[in-house]
Structure 1
Protein backbone atom coordinates (compact mmCIF):
# COMPACT_ATOMS: atom_id res chain seq x y z
CA UNK A 1 0.00 0.00 0.00
CA UNK A 2 1.47 3.37 -1.05
CA UNK A 3 0.90 6.18 1.41
CA UNK A 4 0.22 9.73 0.36
CA UNK A 5 3.16 12.11 0.20
CA UNK A 6 1.29 14.40 2.57
CA UNK A 7 1.09 11.76 5.31
CA UNK A 8 4.46 12.97 6.59
CA UNK A 9 2.81 16.25 7.60
CA UNK A 10 0.14 14.62 9.76
CA UNK A 11 0.48 15.30 13.46
CA UNK A 12 1.89 12.11 15.05
CA UNK A 13 0.08 10.38 17.86
CA UNK A 14 0.81 7.40 20.09
CA UNK A 15 -2.04 5.46 21.65
CA UNK A 16 -4.33 8.29 20.63
CA UNK A 17 -2.18 10.91 22.40
CA UNK A 18 -0.85 13.72 20.16
CA UNK A 19 2.93 14.01 20.28
CA UNK A 20 3.03 17.64 19.18
CA UNK A 21 3.82 18.77 22.73
CA UNK A 22 6.79 16.38 22.86
CA UNK A 23 8.07 17.64 19.50
CA UNK A 24 7.88 21.23 20.74
CA UNK A 25 9.58 20.44 24.06
CA UNK A 26 12.50 18.46 22.62
CA UNK A 27 14.56 21.42 21.29
CA UNK A 28 14.94 22.92 24.76
CA UNK A 29 16.48 19.67 26.03
CA UNK A 30 19.21 19.62 23.39
CA UNK A 31 20.91 22.87 24.42
CA UNK A 32 23.26 22.86 27.42
CA UNK A 33 22.30 25.04 30.35
CA UNK A 34 24.76 27.90 31.05
CA UNK A 35 26.61 27.50 34.33
CA UNK A 36 27.61 30.09 36.90
CA UNK A 37 31.31 29.36 36.54
CA UNK A 38 33.67 32.03 35.27
CA UNK A 39 35.12 29.64 32.69
CA UNK A 40 32.78 27.41 30.67
CA UNK A 41 33.58 24.43 28.49
CA UNK A 42 34.05 24.74 24.73
CA UNK A 43 30.44 23.93 23.89
CA UNK A 44 29.00 26.56 26.20
CA UNK A 45 31.55 29.11 25.02
CA UNK A 46 30.65 28.46 21.38
CA UNK A 47 26.94 28.64 22.18
CA UNK A 48 27.32 31.94 24.06
CA UNK A 49 29.42 33.38 21.22
CA UNK A 50 26.83 32.42 18.61
CA UNK A 51 23.94 33.83 20.65
CA UNK A 52 25.84 37.05 21.29
CA UNK A 53 26.76 37.54 17.62
CA UNK A 54 23.25 36.78 16.43
CA UNK A 55 21.62 39.10 18.97
CA UNK A 56 24.04 41.89 18.07
CA UNK A 57 23.35 41.50 14.35
CA UNK A 58 19.59 41.21 14.81
CA UNK A 59 19.17 44.25 17.04
CA UNK A 60 21.58 46.46 15.10
CA UNK A 61 18.85 48.42 13.23
CA UNK A 62 16.47 48.51 16.22
CA UNK A 63 16.16 51.41 18.64
CA UNK A 64 17.07 50.98 22.30
CA UNK A 65 13.42 50.47 23.19
CA UNK A 66 13.32 47.30 21.10
CA UNK A 67 16.36 45.76 22.82
CA UNK A 68 14.01 44.49 25.52
CA UNK A 69 12.93 41.86 22.98
CA UNK A 70 16.45 40.42 22.67
CA UNK A 71 15.83 37.34 24.82
CA UNK A 72 12.48 36.59 23.16
CA UNK A 73 13.75 36.98 19.59
CA UNK A 74 16.93 34.99 20.20
CA UNK A 75 15.01 32.17 21.87
CA UNK A 76 12.50 32.12 19.01
CA UNK A 77 15.34 31.96 16.48
CA UNK A 78 17.01 28.99 18.19
CA UNK A 79 13.66 27.30 18.64
CA UNK A 80 12.71 27.54 14.97
CA UNK A 81 16.15 26.53 13.71
CA UNK A 82 16.16 23.44 15.92
CA UNK A 83 12.64 22.41 14.90
CA UNK A 84 13.43 22.87 11.21
CA UNK A 85 16.70 20.94 11.35
CA UNK A 86 15.32 18.10 13.46
CA UNK A 87 12.54 17.67 10.91
CA UNK A 88 15.12 16.74 8.26
CA UNK A 89 16.13 13.61 10.15
CA UNK A 90 14.53 10.29 9.07
CA UNK A 91 11.37 9.18 10.88
CA UNK A 92 10.84 12.59 12.45
CA UNK A 93 8.08 15.16 12.37
CA UNK A 94 8.49 18.86 11.60
CA UNK A 95 6.02 20.92 13.68
CA UNK A 96 6.77 24.06 11.64
CA UNK A 97 5.11 22.50 8.58
CA UNK A 98 1.81 23.02 10.39
CA UNK A 99 0.19 26.36 9.54
CA UNK A 100 -1.63 26.38 12.87
CA UNK A 101 1.66 26.38 14.80
CA UNK A 102 3.27 29.05 12.64
CA UNK A 103 0.21 31.29 12.85
CA UNK A 104 0.14 30.70 16.60
CA UNK A 105 3.65 32.15 16.74
CA UNK A 106 3.18 34.91 14.16
CA UNK A 107 -0.15 36.44 15.22
CA UNK A 108 0.59 37.11 18.94
CA UNK A 109 4.08 38.49 18.23
CA UNK A 110 2.82 40.72 15.41
CA UNK A 111 -0.06 41.88 17.58
CA UNK A 112 2.38 42.71 20.37
CA UNK A 113 4.37 44.99 18.06
CA UNK A 114 1.18 46.75 16.94
CA UNK A 115 -0.03 47.21 20.52
CA UNK A 116 3.36 48.62 21.53
CA UNK A 117 3.18 51.08 18.65
CA UNK A 118 -0.30 52.30 19.54
CA UNK A 119 0.67 52.62 23.19
CA UNK A 120 4.00 54.43 22.80
CA UNK A 121 3.51 56.47 19.63
CA UNK A 122 -0.10 56.34 18.38
CA UNK A 123 0.29 59.29 16.00
CA UNK A 124 3.28 57.81 14.16
CA UNK A 125 1.67 54.37 14.05
CA UNK A 126 -1.50 55.74 12.50
CA UNK A 127 0.65 57.83 10.15
CA UNK A 128 1.99 54.62 8.61
CA UNK A 129 -1.47 54.03 7.15
CA UNK A 130 -1.22 57.16 5.01
CA UNK A 131 2.02 58.15 3.23
CA UNK A 132 2.95 61.81 3.39
CA UNK A 133 2.01 63.89 0.36
CA UNK A 134 -0.85 61.64 -0.77
CA UNK A 135 -3.39 63.39 -3.06
CA UNK A 136 -6.75 63.94 -1.39
CA UNK A 137 -8.80 61.69 -3.76
CA UNK A 138 -6.47 58.74 -3.06
CA UNK A 139 -6.57 59.00 0.74
CA UNK A 140 -9.48 56.54 1.35
CA UNK A 141 -8.08 53.99 -1.09
CA UNK A 142 -4.56 54.13 0.38
CA UNK A 143 -5.85 53.83 3.93
CA UNK A 144 -7.76 50.68 2.98
CA UNK A 145 -4.75 49.23 1.15
CA UNK A 146 -2.33 49.97 4.01
CA UNK A 147 -4.77 48.52 6.56
CA UNK A 148 -5.09 45.32 4.54
CA UNK A 149 -1.31 45.08 4.18
CA UNK A 150 -0.97 45.54 7.95
CA UNK A 151 -3.30 42.63 8.69
CA UNK A 152 -1.69 40.44 6.02
CA UNK A 153 1.69 40.59 7.77
CA UNK A 154 1.10 37.73 10.25
CA UNK A 155 -0.43 35.62 7.48
CA UNK A 156 2.66 36.22 5.34
CA UNK A 157 4.91 35.23 8.24
CA UNK A 158 3.12 31.94 8.89
CA UNK A 159 2.50 30.98 5.27
CA UNK A 160 6.09 31.73 4.20
CA UNK A 161 7.57 29.42 6.82
CA UNK A 162 5.00 26.68 6.19
CA UNK A 163 5.21 26.79 2.40
CA UNK A 164 8.99 26.73 2.20
CA UNK A 165 9.41 23.79 4.57
CA UNK A 166 6.50 21.84 3.09
CA UNK A 167 7.76 22.30 -0.47
CA UNK A 168 11.27 21.24 0.50
CA UNK A 169 10.11 18.09 2.28
CA UNK A 170 7.81 17.13 -0.59
CA UNK A 171 10.58 17.60 -3.14
CA UNK A 172 12.99 15.49 -1.11
CA UNK A 173 10.43 12.69 -0.80
CA UNK A 174 9.59 12.82 -4.50
CA UNK A 175 13.23 12.59 -5.58
CA UNK A 176 13.96 9.87 -3.01
CA UNK A 177 11.00 7.83 -4.28
CA UNK A 178 12.20 8.28 -7.87
CA UNK A 179 15.71 7.12 -6.97
CA UNK A 180 14.33 4.06 -5.17
CA UNK A 181 12.09 3.11 -8.12
CA UNK A 182 14.81 3.69 -10.74
CA UNK A 183 17.50 1.71 -8.90
CA UNK A 184 16.59 -1.77 -10.31
CA UNK A 185 15.60 -0.37 -13.72
CA UNK A 186 18.28 2.23 -14.51
CA UNK A 187 21.07 2.18 -11.92
CA UNK A 188 23.02 5.02 -13.55
CA UNK A 189 20.03 7.35 -13.52
CA UNK A 190 19.29 6.30 -9.95
CA UNK A 191 22.83 7.24 -8.87
CA UNK A 192 22.53 10.64 -10.55
CA UNK A 193 19.16 11.13 -8.87
CA UNK A 194 20.72 10.23 -5.52
CA UNK A 195 23.41 12.86 -6.05
CA UNK A 196 20.70 15.43 -6.78
CA UNK A 197 18.91 14.28 -3.62
CA UNK A 198 22.09 14.82 -1.58
CA UNK A 199 22.55 18.34 -2.95
CA UNK A 200 18.88 19.09 -2.33
CA UNK A 201 19.24 17.90 1.26
CA UNK A 202 22.12 20.34 1.77
CA UNK A 203 19.98 23.09 0.26
CA UNK A 204 17.11 22.19 2.57
CA UNK A 205 19.42 22.50 5.59
CA UNK A 206 20.26 26.02 4.46
CA UNK A 207 16.57 26.78 3.85
CA UNK A 208 15.68 25.55 7.34
CA UNK A 209 18.13 28.00 8.92
CA UNK A 210 17.39 30.88 6.55
CA UNK A 211 13.61 30.68 7.01
CA UNK A 212 13.96 30.79 10.79
CA UNK A 213 16.20 33.85 10.45
CA UNK A 214 13.79 35.54 8.01
CA UNK A 215 10.85 34.91 10.38
CA UNK A 216 12.63 36.62 13.27
CA UNK A 217 14.11 39.35 11.06
CA UNK A 218 10.66 40.38 9.78
CA UNK A 219 9.40 40.52 13.35
CA UNK A 220 12.33 42.78 14.16
CA UNK A 221 11.43 45.09 11.27
CA UNK A 222 7.82 45.23 12.44
CA UNK A 223 9.07 46.03 15.94
CA UNK A 224 11.32 48.81 14.61
CA UNK A 225 8.33 50.55 13.03
CA UNK A 226 6.49 50.66 16.35
CA UNK A 227 9.25 51.43 18.85
Structure 2
Protein backbone atom coordinates (compact mmCIF):
# COMPACT_ATOMS: atom_id res chain seq x y z
CA UNK A 1 0.00 0.00 0.00
CA UNK A 2 1.25 3.45 -0.83
CA UNK A 3 1.74 5.75 2.14
CA UNK A 4 1.69 8.88 0.00
CA UNK A 5 0.24 9.95 -3.32
CA UNK A 6 3.73 10.96 -4.38
CA UNK A 7 5.03 7.40 -4.03
CA UNK A 8 3.85 6.80 -7.59
CA UNK A 9 6.71 9.00 -8.79
CA UNK A 10 9.31 6.62 -7.30
CA UNK A 11 10.92 3.90 -9.39
CA UNK A 12 8.70 0.80 -8.95
CA UNK A 13 10.04 -2.58 -7.92
CA UNK A 14 8.63 -6.11 -7.96
CA UNK A 15 10.04 -8.40 -5.26
CA UNK A 16 12.94 -6.00 -4.90
CA UNK A 17 13.75 -6.05 -8.63
CA UNK A 18 13.52 -2.64 -10.42
CA UNK A 19 11.00 -2.65 -13.24
CA UNK A 20 12.76 0.08 -15.21
CA UNK A 21 14.55 -2.56 -17.29
CA UNK A 22 11.17 -3.73 -18.58
CA UNK A 23 9.94 -0.17 -19.02
CA UNK A 24 12.81 0.71 -21.35
CA UNK A 25 11.53 -1.92 -23.79
CA UNK A 26 8.33 0.10 -24.36
CA UNK A 27 9.73 2.56 -26.95
CA UNK A 28 10.82 -0.34 -29.14
CA UNK A 29 7.30 -1.75 -28.94
CA UNK A 30 5.62 1.58 -29.74
CA UNK A 31 8.09 2.64 -32.42
CA UNK A 32 9.64 -0.54 -33.83
CA UNK A 33 12.42 -0.38 -36.39
CA UNK A 34 10.87 -0.92 -39.82
CA UNK A 35 11.87 -4.19 -41.41
CA UNK A 36 12.68 -4.10 -45.14
CA UNK A 37 9.45 -4.82 -46.97
CA UNK A 38 7.52 -3.59 -49.98
CA UNK A 39 4.52 -2.39 -47.97
CA UNK A 40 4.52 -1.22 -44.36
CA UNK A 41 1.78 -2.05 -41.89
CA UNK A 42 -0.65 0.57 -40.62
CA UNK A 43 1.37 1.38 -37.49
CA UNK A 44 4.58 2.07 -39.41
CA UNK A 45 2.68 4.06 -42.04
CA UNK A 46 1.03 6.20 -39.34
CA UNK A 47 4.37 6.62 -37.58
CA UNK A 48 6.09 7.75 -40.78
CA UNK A 49 3.28 10.15 -41.65
CA UNK A 50 3.35 11.67 -38.17
CA UNK A 51 7.12 12.17 -38.20
CA UNK A 52 7.07 13.69 -41.69
CA UNK A 53 4.27 16.12 -40.80
CA UNK A 54 5.93 17.09 -37.56
CA UNK A 55 9.32 17.65 -39.18
CA UNK A 56 7.94 19.72 -42.04
CA UNK A 57 5.88 21.88 -39.67
CA UNK A 58 8.87 22.61 -37.46
CA UNK A 59 11.44 23.25 -40.17
CA UNK A 60 9.35 25.25 -42.65
CA UNK A 61 9.88 28.62 -40.87
CA UNK A 62 13.64 28.01 -40.48
CA UNK A 63 16.47 28.63 -42.87
CA UNK A 64 18.91 25.98 -44.03
CA UNK A 65 20.99 26.27 -40.87
CA UNK A 66 18.07 25.18 -38.72
CA UNK A 67 17.44 22.09 -40.84
CA UNK A 68 20.51 20.47 -39.28
CA UNK A 69 18.45 20.12 -36.10
CA UNK A 70 15.76 18.01 -37.77
CA UNK A 71 17.06 14.71 -36.41
CA UNK A 72 17.57 16.08 -32.89
CA UNK A 73 14.12 17.66 -32.64
CA UNK A 74 12.32 14.66 -34.13
CA UNK A 75 14.17 12.23 -31.87
CA UNK A 76 13.40 14.42 -28.87
CA UNK A 77 9.72 14.45 -29.79
CA UNK A 78 9.54 10.65 -30.05
CA UNK A 79 11.56 10.28 -26.85
CA UNK A 80 9.31 12.57 -24.82
CA UNK A 81 6.11 11.00 -26.13
CA UNK A 82 7.44 7.55 -25.22
CA UNK A 83 8.37 8.61 -21.69
CA UNK A 84 5.10 10.48 -21.14
CA UNK A 85 3.03 7.52 -22.32
CA UNK A 86 5.15 5.18 -20.21
CA UNK A 87 3.67 6.55 -16.99
CA UNK A 88 0.13 5.65 -18.06
CA UNK A 89 0.94 1.93 -17.88
CA UNK A 90 0.49 -0.04 -14.64
CA UNK A 91 3.53 -0.62 -12.41
CA UNK A 92 5.56 2.09 -14.08
CA UNK A 93 6.25 5.73 -13.39
CA UNK A 94 6.72 8.72 -15.65
CA UNK A 95 10.40 9.73 -15.89
CA UNK A 96 9.39 13.17 -17.18
CA UNK A 97 7.72 13.97 -13.85
CA UNK A 98 11.26 14.32 -12.50
CA UNK A 99 12.45 17.92 -12.79
CA UNK A 100 16.07 16.76 -12.97
CA UNK A 101 15.43 14.88 -16.23
CA UNK A 102 13.46 17.72 -17.82
CA UNK A 103 16.06 20.32 -16.88
CA UNK A 104 18.77 18.00 -18.15
CA UNK A 105 17.05 18.07 -21.54
CA UNK A 106 16.06 21.75 -21.57
CA UNK A 107 19.25 23.46 -20.38
CA UNK A 108 21.78 21.93 -22.83
CA UNK A 109 19.49 22.37 -25.85
CA UNK A 110 18.61 25.95 -24.90
CA UNK A 111 22.28 26.75 -24.27
CA UNK A 112 23.19 25.30 -27.66
CA UNK A 113 20.70 27.60 -29.41
CA UNK A 114 22.09 30.63 -27.56
CA UNK A 115 25.69 29.74 -28.40
CA UNK A 116 24.78 29.21 -32.06
CA UNK A 117 23.22 32.67 -32.16
CA UNK A 118 26.25 34.29 -30.51
CA UNK A 119 28.59 32.56 -32.93
CA UNK A 120 26.72 33.03 -36.20
CA UNK A 121 25.00 36.39 -35.70
CA UNK A 122 26.15 38.02 -32.44
CA UNK A 123 24.64 41.42 -33.26
CA UNK A 124 21.16 40.01 -33.87
CA UNK A 125 21.40 37.67 -30.86
CA UNK A 126 22.31 40.51 -28.51
CA UNK A 127 19.76 42.76 -30.22
CA UNK A 128 16.96 40.57 -28.84
CA UNK A 129 17.81 41.96 -25.41
CA UNK A 130 16.75 45.45 -26.47
CA UNK A 131 13.50 45.92 -28.43
CA UNK A 132 13.63 48.43 -31.26
CA UNK A 133 12.37 51.91 -30.44
CA UNK A 134 12.95 51.66 -26.70
CA UNK A 135 13.19 55.06 -24.94
CA UNK A 136 16.69 55.81 -23.69
CA UNK A 137 15.77 55.99 -19.97
CA UNK A 138 14.24 52.49 -20.14
CA UNK A 139 17.18 50.83 -21.89
CA UNK A 140 18.96 49.56 -18.71
CA UNK A 141 15.72 48.26 -17.22
CA UNK A 142 14.62 46.46 -20.39
CA UNK A 143 18.04 44.87 -20.87
CA UNK A 144 17.85 43.43 -17.35
CA UNK A 145 14.27 42.21 -17.89
CA UNK A 146 15.05 40.60 -21.27
CA UNK A 147 18.18 38.96 -19.85
CA UNK A 148 16.19 37.47 -16.98
CA UNK A 149 13.50 36.25 -19.37
CA UNK A 150 16.20 34.67 -21.53
CA UNK A 151 17.63 32.67 -18.63
CA UNK A 152 14.15 31.68 -17.41
CA UNK A 153 13.36 29.90 -20.69
CA UNK A 154 14.92 26.50 -19.85
CA UNK A 155 13.40 26.64 -16.36
CA UNK A 156 9.97 27.29 -17.87
CA UNK A 157 10.40 24.37 -20.27
CA UNK A 158 11.31 21.92 -17.52
CA UNK A 159 8.78 23.12 -14.95
CA UNK A 160 5.91 23.20 -17.47
CA UNK A 161 6.45 19.59 -18.48
CA UNK A 162 6.94 18.42 -14.89
CA UNK A 163 3.95 20.30 -13.47
CA UNK A 164 1.46 19.23 -16.14
CA UNK A 165 2.31 15.55 -15.95
CA UNK A 166 2.55 15.51 -12.15
CA UNK A 167 -0.82 17.23 -11.73
CA UNK A 168 -2.49 14.84 -14.16
CA UNK A 169 -1.14 11.73 -12.47
CA UNK A 170 -2.08 12.99 -9.00
CA UNK A 171 -5.62 13.75 -10.18
CA UNK A 172 -5.93 10.27 -11.70
CA UNK A 173 -4.78 8.66 -8.46
CA UNK A 174 -7.17 10.76 -6.37
CA UNK A 175 -10.15 9.77 -8.54
CA UNK A 176 -9.07 6.11 -8.61
CA UNK A 177 -8.76 6.07 -4.82
CA UNK A 178 -12.20 7.65 -4.48
CA UNK A 179 -13.72 5.04 -6.80
CA UNK A 180 -12.09 2.22 -4.83
CA UNK A 181 -13.36 3.57 -1.50
CA UNK A 182 -16.89 4.22 -2.81
CA UNK A 183 -17.27 0.79 -4.46
CA UNK A 184 -18.58 -1.11 -1.37
CA UNK A 185 -20.51 1.90 -0.04
CA UNK A 186 -22.16 3.46 -3.11
CA UNK A 187 -21.65 1.29 -6.21
CA UNK A 188 -23.55 3.69 -8.49
CA UNK A 189 -21.39 6.64 -7.50
CA UNK A 190 -18.30 4.44 -7.82
CA UNK A 191 -19.35 3.54 -11.38
CA UNK A 192 -19.74 7.20 -12.29
CA UNK A 193 -16.36 7.94 -10.73
CA UNK A 194 -14.81 5.13 -12.79
CA UNK A 195 -16.27 6.61 -15.98
CA UNK A 196 -14.76 9.97 -15.05
CA UNK A 197 -11.44 8.20 -14.47
CA UNK A 198 -11.57 6.61 -17.93
CA UNK A 199 -12.29 9.97 -19.54
CA UNK A 200 -9.44 11.53 -17.57
CA UNK A 201 -7.12 8.76 -18.75
CA UNK A 202 -7.96 9.61 -22.36
CA UNK A 203 -7.30 13.26 -21.56
CA UNK A 204 -3.94 12.36 -20.03
CA UNK A 205 -2.96 10.52 -23.21
CA UNK A 206 -3.65 13.72 -25.13
CA UNK A 207 -1.75 15.78 -22.54
CA UNK A 208 1.23 13.44 -22.80
CA UNK A 209 1.47 14.03 -26.55
CA UNK A 210 0.65 17.75 -26.41
CA UNK A 211 3.26 18.49 -23.74
CA UNK A 212 5.95 16.71 -25.74
CA UNK A 213 4.95 18.71 -28.81
CA UNK A 214 4.96 22.02 -26.88
CA UNK A 215 8.41 21.28 -25.44
CA UNK A 216 9.92 20.65 -28.87
CA UNK A 217 7.96 23.49 -30.51
CA UNK A 218 9.28 26.05 -28.03
CA UNK A 219 12.79 24.71 -28.48
CA UNK A 220 12.44 25.13 -32.25
CA UNK A 221 11.24 28.72 -31.75
CA UNK A 222 14.31 29.46 -29.65
CA UNK A 223 16.43 27.94 -32.39
CA UNK A 224 14.64 29.97 -35.05
CA UNK A 225 15.69 33.19 -33.30
CA UNK A 226 19.37 32.26 -33.49
CA UNK A 227 19.87 30.73 -36.94
Q: TM-score, normalised by structure 2?
A: 0.92
| Conservation of the 8 A alpha-carbon contact between 1:130 and 1:139 | yes
Q: Does 1:29 align with 2:28?
A: yes
1:50-98 Cα deviation digits (max 9, x unpaired):
2111111121222221011001100100110111112101111110000
Q: Which residue of 2 aligns with 1:8?
A: 8
Q: How does 1:27-176 map to 2 (within 5 A)?
A: 27-30=26-29, 31-35=31-35, 39-42=38-41, 43-176=43-176
In the alignment, the residues of structure 1 paired with residue 185 and residue 15 of structure 2 have an alpha-carbon distance, to the nearest angstrom, of 40
Where does structure 2 lack aligned partners over 5 or more consecutive residues? none
Q: Which residue of 2 aligns with 1:185?
A: 185
Q: Which residue of 2 aligns with 1:214?
A: 214
In the alignment, the residues of structure 2 paired with residue 2 and residue 34 of structure 1 have an alpha-carbon distance, to the nearest angstrom, of 40
Cα 1:189–1:19, aligned 2, differ >3 Å: closer, same or farther? closer
Where does structure 1 lack aligned partners over 5 or more consecutive residues? none
- Residues matched between the structures, number: 225
| Conservation of the 8 A alpha-carbon contact between 2:11 and 2:92 | no
